[in-house]
Each structure stands twice: as C-alpha cells, then as structure tokens.
Amino acid sequence: MFIDTHAHLFLDNFKEDLDEVIQRAKSNGV
C-alpha cells in the first residue's frame, strides 16, 4: 500500500513556526 501525504511547508501559513513544525514531524517519525 502506498499513501501520498505531504505538506506545503513553503506557504506563509508555516512561516512563523516552521522550525517547530519540522521538529514535531521529526519527533513523530515523519
């Protein structure tokens, strides 16, 4: 099974807390 999941981290929605978003992803095995 292949599931395509992704996020557009370059969008302005993530600009203020991009480092936190990335750290949370890493902490959760993403």
Domain with 8 in it: 1-29
Report the number of distinct structural domains present in the chain. Answer: 1
Query: pTM of whole model > 0.75?
Result: no
Say if CB 21 and CB 13 are below 8 A apart. no
* pLDDT tens digits, 1-30: 888 888 898 999 888 999 999 999 899 998
What the block records as the tokens of 7 is 């996020």
CA distance 23 to 9: 13
Provide the pLDDT for residue 5: 83
**Sequential DSSP letters for 1-29:** --------TTSGGGTTTHHHHHHHHHHTT
Q: Is 5 in contact with 12 (CB distance < 8 Å)?
A: no
